Structure 1
Amino acid sequence: MKEENVILVNEADEQIGTMPKMEAHEKALLHRAFSVFIMNDKGETMLQQRAAHKYHSPLLWTNTCCSHQRVGETNIQAGKRRLQEEMGFMAELEEVISFIYKAPFDNGLTEHELDHVMIGKYNDAPKINPDEVADWKWMRPEAVKEDIYRSPEKYTEWFKIIFDKFYSHLIENR
């Protein structure tokens, strides 16, 4: 399978080129990304545990899904595509915040992303893709925040950054 390209951007989220995903992560170049948080009617957030064979952060817990937009794809289209590919369901999504972060990994790769965070609603069990996801669970945001504090090693580096922004958004919009 051909490696996907990521969209290189400047700090204003203007496209300045494309590059193979691994190369962008090796060079720590700023690129466009998205993170999806699915909430249920009880106010819980759906988390996924990354598959064991992932090239970084295997078996760590993270948000419902995340990835990179393709050229010509809106943030919402990309979020819906990846939600279907990873979790096996569709949901309406709303983009709520975006910000830039940088997170280095032990394997020499670095996530340097302008991340578009989206929220959606869903109440059923997902049909997870075992190539992408090992497990899933619902957790109240307050419980996630506490668990990240107690056991940060169980979570992906980007999730710890993104969750803080997501949690602040939830608090501000209650």
Structure 2
Amino acid sequence: MPLLILVNDKDEEIGTSEMLACHTGRGVLHRAFTILVFNPVGEVLIQKRSAGKLLWPLTWEASCSGHPVAGEDLEAAAAKRLPEELGFTTMLRTQGHFLYRAAYRDVGSENELCYLLAGEYDGEVRADPEEVAEHRWVALEELSTAMEADPDGYAPWLPPALDLLRD
């Protein structure tokens, strides 16, 4: 099983741990990434997480999210994960990072130092049904309105990612 990278709040590596251990109880702070992909008219691609996900199944999130594993470069991990989940590649640029912690019912939690990467794409999306229940392109204003109306319908890392993008 691949090991995730444990970090402190300054993103200094302090160890490794299995994915499940990082997401059990209050979670252990680890490095992660989320990706926002935009089309040429400025809409963002969002996905609904598959029903098989342990945390936040069937909730909307960013275009793609994941974790670099021990010894793996963050940008390389993101570039690898995007085609695995959505079936395409595009150039990604790191926008910054944010810290967040969120509990999902009594199942587990996220405790991440999460990097935001963004890119542009204009083509076919071939989402992996094991990872993605559905996907769609949406205007940022429409997404913000929808998140305000139904905050529980969206993964907790999406609002801070969008806030970071706006800053």
Q: TM-score range by the shorter chain?
A: over 0.9
> Structure 2 counterpart of 1:18, which letter?
T
* Rounded Cα–Cα distance in structure 1 between residues aligned with 2:91 and 2:123: 14
Q: Secondary structure at the match of 2:42?
A: coil
Deviation at 1:122, TM superposition (A): 0.2
Contact 1:50–1:61, Cα closer than 8 Å, also in 2:
yes
Partner of residue 41, structure 1: 40
Deviations 1:14-42 (A, max 9, x none): 11110001111115111000000001110
1:6-155 correspondence runs (5 A): 6-27=4-25, 28-155=27-154
Q: Does 1:161 align with 2:160?
A: yes
Moved over 4 A (4+): none
Q: Which moved more, 1:24-33 or 1:14-23?
A: 24-33
Number of residue pairs matched?
A: 166
Deviations 1:37-84 (A, max 9, x none): 001110000001111111121111100000101122222111111101
* Rounded Cα–Cα distance in structure 2 between residues aligned with 1:151 and 1:164: 17
- Structural RMSD (CA): 1.3
Deviations 1:105-148 (A, max 9, x none): 10331111111100011011211111100111000111111110
> Structure 1 counterpart of 2:34, which letter?
S
Partner of residue 172, structure 1: none
* Rounded Cα–Cα distance in structure 1 between residues aligned with 2:78 and 2:157: 17
User: What 5-or-longer segments of structure 2 have no aligned partner?
Assistant: none
* Rounded Cα–Cα distance in structure 2 between residues aligned with 1:160 and 1:8: 23
* Structure with the higher fraction of residues in helix conformation: 1
TM-score (norm. length: structure 1): 0.90
Contact 2:54–2:107, Cα closer than 8 Å, also in 1:
no
* Rounded Cα–Cα distance in structure 1 between residues aligned with 2:149 and 2:32: 28
Contact 2:55–2:109, Cα closer than 8 Å, also in 1:
no
> Structure 2 counterpart of 1:22, which letter?
L
TM-score (norm. length: structure 2): 0.94
> Structure 2 counterpart of 1:85, which letter?
E
Q: Secondary structure at the match of 2:76?
A: helix
> Structure 2 counterpart of 1:6, which letter?
L
Q: Secondary structure at the match of 1:58?
A: coil
